[in-house]
Structure 1
């Protein structure tokens, strides 16, 4: 498995296509949730993924703070359906948190977690900062990680 991190302008058209296809295949098709996948945040974000050969097996988007959210955030967290249950999501989150701290020196990380995954995110030290709410028809919880567990 190889980890790749790129800014939007470093993505090849082939890489961008594969990233967007995976995001749409899971978030729109598999989860039956038609929503605006292209939300204007990709250009300012870092894109992190793991690949085996040419297949993207895990991906997330790291959005800088001060735009969409106050704090830098981890979003579009996704593991290819054929690689679920292999611990890849844990490796992806660890890598994403490490990149945010190294690249941007962040001490707080925000995410909008699907409610059924809140326990997974809590295992990294994320804390609930909202009640459950529907986002595009799926229950979510806003969560925040703070360095040192403040």
Structure 2
């Protein structure tokens, strides 16, 4: 079971921000072997969802209100720490993220740019593919809408 925090950018402690940036780098840059600009200027607009197993950050995503990323509400930077992936926390993270978007923005229509290998995972949460696949930072992605 995870403990959740929902933070705006200005609510982060230095330690929380460091943990998030470290986890994002660990997964998206090192593990996925993808050199890209993670610090993209969008964190200041986002609502950040942090999931802790005991005191360790193991789950994270960031959410956007409509027109901050897509026309619809959105989320991205979805991460489960590699050592925590066998517990089903990914499903918990998406449920918490959808609830945060509903609570924070009163939105239920959500568009995401999903890594193609996670298509079935997002379909299990009510998302459907829209359009053809494309490369984002060298990784196959697809647009999905709920």
Q: TM-score, normalization: structure 1?
A: 0.94
The answer to whether the Cα contact below 8 Å between 2:45 and 2:68 also exists between their aligned partners in 1 is no
Q: Tell me the secondary structure at the aligned position of residue 34 of structure 2.
A: coil
Moved more, 20-29 or 58-67: 58-67
Structure 2 regions of 5+ residues with no counterpart? none
Deviations 1:50-102 (A, max 9, x none): 11233101000001221221111110000011000211000000110011111
- Residues 1:53 and 1:85: Cα distance change in structure 2 (over 3 Å): closer
For 1:91-110, what aligned pairs fall within 5 Å after superposition? Answer: 91-110=92-111
Q: Separation in 2 of the partners of 1:81 and 1:50?
A: 14
- After TM superposition, what 4+ stretches of structure 1 lie above 6 angstroms from structure 2? none
Aligned-partner Cα distance in 2 for 1:48–1:40: 17
The answer (yes or no) to whether the contact 2:48–2:62 under 8 Å persists in 1 is yes
Does 2:54 align with 1:53?
yes
For 2:84, the equivalent position in structure 1 comes to 83
For the aligned residue pairs, the C-alpha RMSD in angstroms reads 0.9
- Partners of 1:135 and 1:111 in 2: CA distance: 13
Deviation of 1:107 (Å):
2.4
Alpha-carbon deviation of 1:21?
Answer: 0.5
Partner of 2:70: 69
**SS at the partner of 2:86?**
coil
1:112 counterpart = 2:113: yes
The equivalent residue for 2:30 is 29
How many angstroms apart in 1 are the aligned matches of 2:68 and 2:106?
A: 17
Deviation of 1:130 after TM superposition, in Å, equals 2.1
User: Taking structure 2 as the reference length, what is the TM-score of the superposition?
Assistant: 0.96
* CA distance in structure 1 between the partners assigned to 2:137 and 2:55 by the alignment: 31
